[in-house]
Structure 1
Amino acid sequence: MVNATAHGLIGVVLLARHGDRTEYYQNPLTYNSNQSYITPLGSVQEYELGSYLRSVYLNKSSPSYISNISTDVADINQLYIRSDAGGGNAILNSAYSLLQGLYPGTTASSITLANGTTVTAPLQGYQYIPVESVEQDLIPSLTSWMDCQYFQYHVNRTYDSSQYLEIAQEAQPFLDAVVPYIDGRSNNFTNMWNIYDYINVQSIHNKTYNDALPPTFLEQARYYANQHEYLMFTDSASNAIGEIPIRTLLPELIWSLGNMSANTSPVKLALTELDYKPFISLFNVTNATLGDPSIAGIANYASAAALELSYGSGGEPEISLKFKNGTEDDELRPLTMWGNSSVTLKQFITILDNTTVNSTHNWCFSCNQTILRGCSVYNFSTDPFLNPGSANP
């Protein structure tokens, strides 16, 4: 089903995962991580993703063309681009690479001076599109699981759950066999993300390693890492702490969709570049995984999720969800939300309204954090939840 009228889409909100990068260690208890850096392969993956998105949303002959968007020379007023700026900027640099494909250089990116000289931007008309870098230490919205005490409680509970222990037991033969191929790393199932990431990175960049690795080991590592991360970044209720990666992102998504539908903002395409965790939570809170269980795991490098906004047959704004799982998929494929191919914008907001964490103050409260990531500026000394001793007897 194409989510567009004869006049095209109203707009689209995109989530994109970064491209290929160097090894990325995450603490299995806190999910705090080290730095990683984008590779030339990752830059190409993101550029190709941007080129594909251009063919879908900026092509006037496409059924998903965004009505009245500038197609060749970027109108920065029509674009809202954000990116996680943490670590070694693998994600931020991915956003720049994607934008090069979305709006490639053009000789139309030029000006004529008073003396009649025409000047084209460097690099064959390279287009400089502003990206809002979201700093982890200042704004928790794109990395809301980090330094979140209640999320760490969730992780610990998950490690003790029967579902987790059953999967760990199932994985044990693989974990025993993989020891010679993980360079001294722990083979405990709690370390499954790091086991998978090491194998994946080495398989891509180290020919000697790739030739020696048994044929099924990468596939098995991916399978068990998917199971592991799905348990970490989902929960039994959409407003529970396991869904925190998408709960802090939803306010921006809803704000963008609402402004597009009300025509109160010129923005027609909103893009957030991030890592894999919000994809897991988004697909869970919208029940998309019930319609397509294959998406219940780690999105591939250079994946994209699209919330397409159009007018339905009754004239009311509707949203459809689509997903492209990196280079594994040739194109965006439709997903269901709550069993439907599309929902009205009003339904989308109503269903997810109690899920959102819409400010740093609310994040501090939701995470039981009173010091780090900007929380120290708020006075929680009299809050009976975060400071039980302040409650009246």
Structure 2
Amino acid sequence: MRILGVSTAGAGHFNPMKPWLKRLAEQGHDVTVVGPPGLAAAAGGFDFRAGAAPDPESVAAIWQRVAESTMEVSRELVLRDLFGRLNSGAMIPAVRAAIDDLRPDLVLRDPAEYASALAAAEAGVPHARLGVSLSAEIAFFESTAAPVLEDWRPGLHREIVESPILTRFPASLDPSPFLAVVRYRVGEPLARDVSPRSVYATLGTVAPTMPPMRPWFEIVAKVLGALPVSAVFTVGHDLDPAQIAAAPNVRIETWADHADVLSRAAVILHHGGSGTVLDALAAGIPQVIVPLFADQGANAAAVVEAGVGTALPNSGGSAFHIPQGGEVERLQELIAETMASEAVRERASEVAEEMSLLPELDVSVLGIV
């Protein structure tokens, strides 16, 4: 088969697609990736075609409005105007050209990249979405972008909603509104050798690049340093670990082997990014989430509702979770409560077992080609 993968440049959007592309290539299928210029490095190893990036001034204007807006307004700006009108609009010529040249049998889509849905629908090519977030969140993405989509092609929103969605989220956390849902796992379940006082902390790869989020790194280090734990806190390549004050029980690293720290951690403290949530769920690790922006609040709410962790919600009402008074103390309490909770540990193990029973990622589970 000929497979075309199309994604935005965000790591949280392309990373869920990469295992599919890799497996399909290993099975002898022809795989090509199309994305904005910023995706080139992440798409290394695949045949890559770069589309256009949107006008930088228009993008900057949207982000300025986001910073000044409520959560509700900011999400509309990002989902409709940034992901839809600007980012996807700029990609339409490149995706149309790729489909015309390659005649793919299947288009795998980042659900926030809509040029791929438009071009696939125009050419009559089957397309499927990757579950980069909870299904309800993806439905919200798509309904918010619908005015743009319908301007491009009447009925496109319905065509997207009816396309299959491929997701690692288990049904217990993700009761999907979509009819065509393919749930799968990546690899074998992680072998766990838990150190009872071990904490793994990460705030993802995007937060370190955002000045408004920088105070959280000091807060997390301070919180962990005040607890009777042994912690590894990864801060990415955009921050200097030496610049973050930390107690002796907190090791701050640029990077750590994800599987290794997950296998030993009694609790994970993180930002609520979907990839981190899913890896923690699959490993059966109790979670403490500080959602910072985007869909992380929805992920945190799902984790709490499922009984597999706790969360420090954004009470400020703005698009970004800016530290509020009393949150240091509350975060310390949440970590201690979560580490002590047998109920959370048991529920986390149950969800991990549920995920382990899903079929492994493979073209055979698609049922659409």
TM-score (normalised: structure 2):
0.29
Higher relative contact order (CA 8 A, sep 6+): 1
Q: Between Structure 1 and Structure 2, whose CA radius of gyration is higher? A: 1
